[in-house]
Structure 1
Amino acid sequence: MGDMPLVLLIFYTVFIGFMTLTPYQLDVSPAGPIGRLLQFFADHQVTSWLTYTLVEKLANVAMFVPFGFLLALQMGRRRWWVGWVAGAAFTCLIEGAQVTLLSPTRYGTISDLITNTLGAVIGAVLALVLMVLLPSRDEPDEVDRVVR
């Protein structure tokens, strides 16, 4: 895979930082695009269960899946778990910064810590499954290890 996971990880980490450590959140007012979409869901019985709180939690999980995935790929099969441990540490830093440095406009929560970490866990596990199913070309095949 080369350096591609590392390059993507760097860009994605910067993206997460931009999304979580800037003083202002995305437009979440009722008149904004997210608010209108959620109102559309609320107006229809089939999708009325899709609330702002649920969408926010799912977005927090989804945002950290690529982080855990890319970091686990970068670390390899033996250290895949670093993807979720680093995801937990990264979200602790983010939530801490939101509570202390960005408190007038951002809110750090335990819920975000849990959902972000869950996303990193899911991503790291998916990367492990991929690495097990599709072994790296750098690793010799079992047949090559047999002394003839």
Structure 2
Amino acid sequence: MRRSPTHVVLALAYLAALAAIAFWPTPVDQGVDVLNSWPVRWLESSFGMPRPTGYDVVQTAANVVLFVPLGWLAVALTRLSWWQVTAAGFVLSSGIEVGQALLRPERFATVSDVVANTSGALLGAVAATVALRRRVPARA
């Protein structure tokens, strides 16, 4: 894919937002009624999805969704394969969790966050790989 200035700006904005979310002094959802938030209500009303029974389900899903753009952008803007991007997502997520453990004692560094984040990077990378292969005609 051609790296346009727009794509680069979007990638930089995403990374800045990710850093802000990861290293905000307190959890970004502190004080929010996550189980009654608009995304949960929208999924329930639009798709008939049952309301989650616990915060952990919503928090894990949010961590997956948070890293999908990373996987997509990394595949779309580089020559890395889906598995290399997934490995990079794992390394980045692990670094974030270690950074939170060392620098932000009020945050919770967990292995489950690394698994969820890596899963999101994998989903984004695979989706971008499939989408970009469909757009590029096969060479004879």
Shift of 1:100: 1.0
Task: Flag as ranges the 4+ runs of structure 1 deviating above 6 A.
Answer: none
Q: For the Cα contact (< 8 Å) 1:98–1:108, is it kept in 2? A: yes
Letter in 2 for 1:102: R
Secondary structure of the structure 1 residue equivalent to 2:25:
coil
Q: 1:28 to 1:35 in 2, by over 3 A?
A: farther
Matched, 1:75 2:68: no
Match of 2:90 among 78, 88, 91: 88
Q: Aligned partners of 2:75 and 2:21: how far apart in 1?
A: 22
Secondary structure of the structure 2 residue equivalent to 1:107:
coil
Q: Give the structure 2 partner of residue 10 of structure 1.
A: 12
TM-score of the two chains, using structure 1 as the length reference: 0.75
Matched, 1:116 2:113: no
What is the CA RMSD across the aligned residues, in angstroms?
2.5
Secondary structure of the structure 1 residue equivalent to 2:30:
coil
- Structure 1, unaligned runs of 5 or more: 144-148
Q: For the Cα contact (< 8 Å) 1:28–1:35, is it kept in 2? A: no
- Identical columns (%): 28
Across the two proteins, how many residue pairs are aligned to each other? 130
TM-score of the two chains, using structure 2 as the length reference: 0.79
Q: 1:64 to 1:27 in 2, by over 3 A?
A: closer
Q: Give the structure 2 partner of residue 146 of structure 1.
A: none
Q: 1:6 to 1:21 in 2, by over 3 A?
A: same
- Which is higher, the Rg of structure 1 or of structure 2? 1
